[in-house]
Amino acid sequence: MDPTMNVPRVSSASFREMPSLSRLKLIRADMPTKRNASDPGTADRDLREVNQELLLAVLAAQDKRLAAESTLQRQLKALTILAHEMRNGLAPIQSASDVLGGARSIDPPLLTRLQAVIHRNSTQLARLIEDLLDASRASTGKFRLERRLVDLSEIVGQAVASCLPAMELRSQKLTVSAPLGVLFIDADPDRVRQILVNLLDNACKYTPVGGSIVVTALSRADHVEASVCDNGIGISSDALPHIFELFAQGAQEGPVASRGLGVGLAVVRELVQSHGGTITAESAGPTRGSKFTATFPRHGSAADTAS
């Protein structure tokens, strides 16, 4: 993992600095301050206010501590998954290399098979590393965009084409509605394709076999948008507000092999925002499907010029 990755960290020192409730109890309302020693009533009120403020500070510190602990847990979980993914990708490459190294001569069909194993696994590892680099760029806002005038529907078509085989494998029904030649945006086509592929990949992963996925691109009054809607496992109201955070993962249903790192949506959000757009997630809850909508400023609009 990129050690410069800018993700929140928590140190044991920061826990020690936090005031504890038991220490707070030492400040009691019946201890008059010097300033108000002559007026016990005012001193009483002052101390009560101070106590209340301290209590609020402690509660806020506890909230921060819980959030930091949960971030730490997410990072550790992501590291574990990452280590497994890397080991799973490397093992077949090592085996292929052992076969190649140990054989005096190799049949051409076996050679072709070994080359395919090395190619498939090294491509997967390269993708994993690219995802992590994107996660690092997302957290530091360092994406470089090569923008030009592009047709959103054309990119929707390309993204759909690359995800179709995976959807066919899961017998999912895909419906696409994207009128060509009318939805122009000023954008980096590779990055917009990456946004859509991530959303489609999720829709496929988190929708059971035989489910439905609907992709729509359309024009609104002040922007152009693309949405991916599925009738899959859905997202709980607890998970929904955190779904775009780095290493966030909702309910881990579905095949273990399809579980990811929780990087995709964090990258999607950063990419959409760096185009001057917005991304939203909706779900009525577990088993009720999900809908993700990415908006982009229409080409030539004030927002487009400003972004």
Ligand X SMILES: Nc1ncnc2c1ncn2[C@@H]1O[C@H](COP(=O)(O)OP(=O)(O)OP(=O)(O)O)[C@@H](O)[C@H]1O
Residue from 189, 211, 232, 260 touching Mg ion (CB under 5 A): that is: 260
H helices then E strands: how many in the chain? 8, 7
Beta carbon of residue 164, minimum distance to Mg ion (angstroms, whole number): 17
Per-residue tokens: 91? 């093992």
Pairing type for strands 148-151 and 290-297 reads unpaired
Q: How far is CA 176 from the centre of its chain?
A: 24
Beta carbon of residue 159, minimum distance to Mg ion (angstroms, whole number): 14
Report the residue number, 196 or 263, with the smaller CB distance to ligand X: 263
Q: To the nearest 10°, the Cα dihedral for 168, 234, 292, 128?
A: -60
Beta carbon of residue 85, minimum distance to ligand X (angstroms, whole number): 9
Beta carbon of residue 152, minimum distance to Mg ion (angstroms, whole number): 21
Beta carbon of residue 53, minimum distance to ligand X (angstroms, whole number): 38
For residue 293, list its beta bridge partners: 227, 280
DSSP state of 296: E
Q: Is 280 helix (H, G, I), strand (E, B) or coil?
A: strand
Q: Is 51 in contact with 33 (CB distance < 8 Å)?
A: no
Report the residue number, 153 or 290, with the smaller CB distance to Mg ion: 290
Report the residue number, 43 or 267, with the smaller CB distance to Mg ion: 267
Binding flag, residue 264, Mg ion (CB under 5 A) = yes
Q: Describe the crossing of helices 264-274 and 108-140 by its angle, rounded to 10 degrees.
A: 60
Residue 277 binding target from Mg ion, ligand X, none, CB below 5 to 8 Å by type: none
| Contact positions with Mg ion (CB under 5 A) in 192-231 | 202
For residue 282, list its beta bridge partners: 291
Q: Which residues bind ligand X (CB under 6 A)?
A: 131, 202-203, 206, 230, 232-235, 243, 248-251, 260-266, 290
**Of 59-67, 140-148, 167-175, 259-267, which segment contacts Mg ion by CB under 5 A?**
259-267
Q: Which residues bind Mg ion (CB under 5 A)?
A: 202, 260, 264
